[in-house]
Amino acid sequence: MPAFPILSVSRKPILLFLFVTVFIFLYQIASHPKVSRTMQSSAYYTNYDERACLPQRVLDKNPPTKKAKAAIVILVRNKELEAIKETVINFQNVFNNNFDYPYVFLNEVPFTEEFKYTIRQAAPNASRIEFGLVPEAHWSYPSWHKKKYGFVVTLLENKNTIPSLWKTVQQYAKSRHIDISMPQSPSSSPLSSASSKRVNNNNHNKRLLFPYFIDPSTGDYNLCHFWSNFEIASLNLWRSPEYRDFFQYLDQTGNFFYERWGDAPVHSLAAGLFLSTDEIHYFEDIGYQHDLYRHCPTKESSLGCRCTCPEGTTDKSIDHDQYYDTCLPVWKQHVKHEKKNLNWNVWS
């Protein structure tokens, strides 16, 4: 048989051809929208200066010239050990191993030895871990804060549901020697500073809130009360011997049942009997609506924090601060009057 000559073809062009073909194939796959989206780095902010998560090799190749003077400060309690342990392990692995910022753990009570040991095991490469104690005065309510009752809406009560409540409260105050008389105006008498002091059997020289509920023209109940659908109160008020005594006195009349006395006027008048005006806080800065009635922070107060309250009055939302049965103007006038009396007493 005749022999056919074997063509001597160079291997380099064939390898080059295969390489180009594979490259084009992989490029087409990587360019596919479904693939390209998964390969893009993600960040919480689109205008972030850096990627959301820098690869370790980038840090190894271009380490920061210097790190911030900072520490990782964590407020945590002993009972939260397991949760914070997992957080520290994760945080150390994905971030702090690169920078070695010191940890500072703070608690309202001393950390247990178990807590300290577990945290050190969670971050074995951390060069510095400190455990501190926050003083109780810094952790809890400040000694000057002293507010015991807070409201956001004050309005008129339905008179038909409390026909005898005011008379009963007056009788209780008299039986317990609580002075609920209206204070005199500072300019009416040189002795007004003394006569305007409210006195009860436990709080001498304490100016009670009670005059807020008195109609100055008649001396009767003006029907104002704090709407208890929203109220923030110290439990020390409701648990106090004075309030429990007051409630028992009212309860024995049977008129919670027979007249439908509500919790709102009872809470309000109790605050009037046992608290001073400066122990009451009006939450002007909280937007709130119950049924149709609504309160929104006023623009004049500049207290609304990202509050999206509707404006005006509609069939679904009533601006109660401007409504006919609001007691807000009465409250503001009362506070103004109390401040005037307080200043008079100080200078007297």
pLDDT in tens, 116-164: 999 999 999 999 999 999 988 787 777 787 899 999 999 999 999 999 9
Q: How far is 42 from 153, CA to CA, in rounded Å?
A: 46
Top pLDDT among 224 and 53 is at 224
The residue assigned the tokens 């914070």 is 84
More confident residue, 289 or 300: 289
Per-residue model confidence (pLDDT) at position 270: 98
Give the whole-number percent of the chain exceeding pLDDT 90: 53
For 149-347, which CATH class? alpha beta
Which residues, in sequence order, are CB contacts of 218 under 8 Å at separation 6+? none
Q: Does 240 score more than 70 pLDDT?
A: yes
**Residue 345: what are its φ and ψ, rounded to 5°?**
-65, -40
Q: φ and ψ at 282, to 5 degrees?
A: -95, 115
Residue 41, pLDDT above cutoff 60: no
Q: What's residue 74's pLDDT?
A: 95
Tens-place pLDDT, residues 158-207 = 999 999 999 999 999 999 999 998 766 544 433 333 333 443 444 445 78
* CB-based contacts of 129, cutoff 8 Å, min separation 6: 102, 103, 105, 119, 120, 123
User: Mean pLDDT across the stretch 83-103?
Assistant: 92
Q: Which two tokens stand for residue 290?
A: 């119950």
Told to judge if 136 belongs to the known catalytic residues of this protein, a careful annotator would answer: no
Would you state the pLDDT for residue 53? 52
Number of helices and strands in the chain (H, E): 14, 11
Q: Are 157 and 265 in contact, with CB atoms under 8 Å apart?
A: yes
User: Rounded mean pLDDT of the chain?
Assistant: 81
pLDDT digits (tens, 9 = 90+) for 249-283: 999 999 999 999 999 999 999 999 999 999 999 99
Tell me how crowded residue 272 is: count the other CB atoms within 10 A of its CB.
26
Share of the chain above pLDDT 70, in %: 72
Active-site annotation holder among 80, 113, 231, 311: 231
**Domain range summary for the chain, segments of one domain joined by +:** 72-139, 149-347
Q: What is the pLDDT of residue 35?
A: 45
SS3 state of residue 132:
strand
pLDDT of residue 32: 58
Q: Which residue has the higher pLDDT, 27 or 5?
A: 27
Tell me how far the alpha carbon of residue 216 is from its chain's centroid.
37
Higher-scoring residue by pLDDT: 153, 60: 153
Identify the pLDDT of residue 172: 98
Q: Mean pLDDT lowest for which of 196-200, 245-249, 324-328?
A: 196-200
Confidence of residue 54 (pLDDT cuts 50, 70, 90): low
- Ranking 71-80, 180-189, 190-199, 314-323 by mean pLDDT, the lowest is 190-199
Section 66-76 average pLDDT? 90
> Can you spell out the DSSP letters for 24-83?
HHHHHHHHSHHHHHHHS---SSTT-SS-SS--HHHHHHS--S---S--EEEE--GGGHHH
Amino acid (one-letter) located at 93: N
Nearest CA-CA partner of 183 in 164, 161, 209: 209
Name the strand (E) or helix (H) holding 337: helix 328-347
End-to-end CA distance of the chain: 137
DSSP state of 6: P
Q: Provide the 3-class DSSP secondary structure of residue 159.
A: helix
Lowest mean pLDDT among 10-19, 20-29, 49-58, 148-157: 49-58
Q: What is the pTM of this model?
A: 0.61
